[in-house]
Amino acid sequence: MRTLRLILAYDGSRYHGWQAQPDKPTIQGALETALQLFVGEKVVAYASGRTDAGVHAIGQVVSLETTARMPANAFRLGLKTYLPEDIVVREVHEVPSGFHAQFDAIGKTYRYLIYNHAVDLPFLRPYTFWHRAPLDVETMQAATNELIGEHDFRSFETNWPNKASSVRTVTAAKWTVEPVWNLWSPGAEVPVVAGDERMLCFEISANGFLYNMVRSIVGTMIHVGRGKWSPADVRAILQAGDRRLAGETAPATGLYLKSVDYPITWIRPDRTVRPSSAVFGDDGTELDE
């Protein structure tokens, strides 16, 4: 039996999240169907976390065990034949036996995109959150800095408590403003960027995430960006431990699982020593985002 580590990218728009569900399209369901068709045996795929309905991924990590003997790279090429076009296997690596994509993870990074412009673009709707009013990104960053470090994030958790603990450590959280390459502009032959047209990119890294945590933080920071709340207000919301005080849950359309981190013993295929315990403590009973 071999253990493989896959890195997936997918457009989550038409899926009901990662986890397989009866009579509903899911990422896990599509992947396991493709695996069975490719290798001729039933394979169970375990993801680093169960993304919610409509959430996308750039670097979702999946582990699986199989008796198939073809080279690892053949899985990437072979699964392309059986997977829907909105799910892509970016990489496949053989790893030491015992690797588990969820329980051996030590951190994740999520990305959220806000199209900040007075006029919506229909082409961006499935992949961003459109917000028409101007947002003060510098103040949003100052408020976001209040979240860095180890805190109880129950104020940003849907349906608390849905995990054993709401304490998480945020290691980095940053807002940037990116230009929009407007290829949808009539007659555009080169990148066209309108002066007031921009994409807000929020990236946050932590040792674990609660259900809807990133989207709740984004919804809160939009209030900050519009001048309704201050960084001090965000600090008070965090300390209060009350979800009712924070902002709305931002739509799933703008959220991407960017990457997942693992101990070096799992990243290097030539190492076979298993870590003594998993640092990342998700119990597999609830969604991440």
Query: Can you give the pTM of this predicted structure?
Result: 0.88
CATH of the domain at 58: 3.30.70.580
* Torsional sign, CA 112, 30, 63, 280: positive
- pLDDT for 285: 31
- 64-68, 152-156, 162-166, 229-233 — which is least confidently predicted? 162-166
Q: 89 and 179: one domain?
A: no
Side chain identity, residue 219: G
- pLDDT for 159: 79
**156 found inside a domain:** yes
Point out the residues that are catalytic: 52
C-alpha 132: how far from its chain's center?
24
Q: 132 and 216: one domain?
A: yes
Q: 111 and 91: one domain?
A: no
Identify whether the C-beta of residue 108 lies closer than 8 Å to the C-beta of residue 172. Answer: no
Domain that holds residue 40: 2-104
Q: Give mean pLDDT, residues 88-100.
A: 93
Q: 203 and 142: one domain?
A: yes
Residue 276 in this model has a pLDDT that exceeds 80: no
Q: 149 and 238: one domain?
A: yes
Query: Of 210, 132, 140, nearest to 173 (Cα)?
Result: 140
Q: 73 and 134: one domain?
A: no
State whether residue 47 is helix, strand or coil: strand
Residue 265 in this model has a pLDDT that exceeds 80: no
- pLDDT for 287: 53
Q: Write down the mean pLDDT value for the chain.
A: 87
Is there a cis peptide before residue 161, judged by omega within 30 degrees of 0? yes
- pLDDT for 182: 60
Give percent above pLDDT 70 in the chain.
85
- pLDDT for 58: 96
CATH of the domain at 159: 3.30.70.660
Side chain identity, residue 141: Q
Q: 123 and 242: one domain?
A: yes
Q: 127 and 186: one domain?
A: yes
Higher pLDDT, 87 or 165: 87
Q: Give mean pLDDT, residues 107-118.
A: 95
- pLDDT for 270: 41
- pLDDT for 192: 47
**272 found inside a domain:** no
Q: 64 and 135: one domain?
A: no
**276 found inside a domain:** no
| Spatial separation of the C-alpha atoms in residues 94 and 98, rounded to whole Å | 11
Q: 100 and 166: one domain?
A: no
Domain count, the chain: 2
